[in-house]
Structure 1
Amino acid sequence: MKNLFAKFLKDESGATAIEYGLLAALIAVGIIVTAGSVGDSLNATFTKVSTDLNAATNK
């Protein structure tokens, strides 16, 4: 029984899986934040282009 408990304490495969999961979650959050920022920037750019085109065609 003591040997089984010692093996359990030395087994780090679960900790490694948790670390990979946390790393994947952090990367996903970074991608979401970046995509949101790029999306807002693109929206502003296309809005400006649309406004400029409407102003140019109404002259």
Structure 2
Amino acid sequence: MMTFITEGAKNLWKDEEGLGTLEMILIIAVLIAVVLVFRKEIVKVVEDLISTAGSKSQEVFES
């Protein structure tokens, strides 16, 4: 009985089917966690970029 359980565990460990899907899910989960942790900083950077782009475009059109 113990060898059956051991062999089953070994086969489960060696089975790589669906591994790519699991890796993609883990990568997405980590990216979401990073975005949630640094949400305020990301919003600030994007707002700064948008305001800079807006002011630079005004300079181009005024010249």
Q: What TM-score does the superposition give when structure 2 sets the normalisation length?
A: 0.42
The structure with the largest alpha-carbon Rg is 1
Query: Which one has more relative contact order, counting CA pairs under 8 Å at least 6 apart?
Result: 2
